Structure 1
């Protein structure tokens, strides 16, 4: 970890093409994670958060195809970063289970933590070397098609967030709701938990995460959840 590393205002997403292409060059000589910091394809190297990459796929609204595309993008990223052969990289993305990957280095397997999210035509994934990570993307609803936000916010986001949303002008509420929803989902994924309704006791552990917004195309909100400082 780089000394003095700090948290950015927002985390950029490295977009990958649906044909498996990448926007950035491969790590030199297949070094990847073990290369000098200036050569790494890391989006972030946060204090207390370790090394991680955030990638995404655009323009794929079919959920099954999106799952396949982001899984292939993760595998390609790990291939470039690790310098391993494809046979030594196993990506586990079973539905209902926390995703993860195993890198088969000669000196022994190495676990890589993953978090994945899909909504609308976007898919995003976080790849972490040093521990759990959470990520979520949420499409911002059209204000005219957003009549039932209040009971959903009260049940899943809690009374304080529901009250804050109610105080906003109607045209600002969908974006704020999407940000709050993504933050909750990212925190839950960081802890390896499924979506559950808000409760004062059950949500206490979620407050320990650090959350940063993702830089996304217009019409979407997203959040990355990191370990506590």
Structure 2
């Protein structure tokens, strides 16, 4: 299975794959890549690692003797996964593109401050900045175990970092600011 390690430090591993066109096949391929990458990273047999997921709850990586936080994200042409050995994790990826209704999208989902910052930036920078703000919020929501919802003003207790990708994509990785453990 071909995957690229994008991040590996502080108990966090992030990988990327070029997925097949089918969403279902991409999901299966990414889960297999996570198992193989985690096995190499932790020097384990990939058969001893499994992915557990249920609708409405964050996925988890089941390891011999423990559970790790797990997050997935897909956009056309790229799929990412992140594993956190010491707690929850969130990852999100988005293609940088001009979105016609960007102001309403930002105001409704990212909050009035971000919408104002985007309105004040040069038009040529707005697609990149919107992608950065959107992926940061989505990654933090995933890390906090929350679903995407309209802006509620709640600040999430996450450390968010950008992951370097090809120029047409932006990805953010979120981990808790305070030490936590994934529940077994």
How far 1:164 sits from its partner (Å)? 0.5
How far 1:23 sits from its partner (Å)? 5.7
Bigger Rg, which one: 1
- Describe how 1:84-95 pairs up with structure 2 within 5 A: 84-95=44-55
Does 2:90 match 1:134? yes
Which whole-Å CA distance do the structure 2 matches of 1:168 and 1:97 have between them?
36
Give the aligned partner of residue 21 of structure 1.
Answer: 2
Give the aligned partner of residue 191 of structure 1.
Answer: 144
Which whole-Å CA distance do the structure 2 matches of 1:86 and 1:43 have between them?
18
Paired residues of 2:17 and 2:30 also in contact (CA < 8 A): yes
Which whole-Å CA distance do the structure 1 matches of 2:176 and 2:132 have between them?
19
Structure 2 spans left out of the alignment, 5+ residues: 179-184
Give the aligned partner of residue 58 of structure 2.
Answer: 98
What whole-Å deviation, never above 9, does each CA across 1:78-125 have from its counterpart, x for those lacking one? 222344444422211334321101113xxxx31111111111211111
- Describe how 1:113-124 pairs up with structure 2 within 5 A: 113-124=69-80
- Describe how 1:206-225 pairs up with structure 2 within 5 A: 206=156, 208-225=157-174
Go from structure 1 to structure 2 and tell me whether the alpha carbon gap of 1:59 and 1:78 turns closer, same or farther (over 3 Å shift): closer
TM-score when normalising by structure 2: 0.88
Paired residues of 1:61 and 1:122 also in contact (CA < 8 A): no
Partner secondary structure for residue 96 of structure 1? coil
Give the aligned partner of residue 181 of structure 2.
Answer: none
Go from structure 1 to structure 2 and tell me whether the alpha carbon gap of 1:78 and 1:148 turns closer, same or farther (over 3 Å shift): same
How far 1:191 sits from its partner (Å)? 0.6
Give the aligned partner of residue 76 of structure 1.
Answer: 36
Paired residues in the alignment total 178
Paired residues of 2:3 and 2:15 also in contact (CA < 8 A): no
Moved over 6 A (4+): none
Go from structure 1 to structure 2 and tell me whether the alpha carbon gap of 1:191 and 1:95 turns closer, same or farther (over 3 Å shift): same
TM-score when normalising by structure 1: 0.71
Which whole-Å CA distance do the structure 1 matches of 2:121 and 2:92 have between them?
23
Structure 1 spans left out of the alignment, 5+ residues: 1-19, 25-41, 46-50
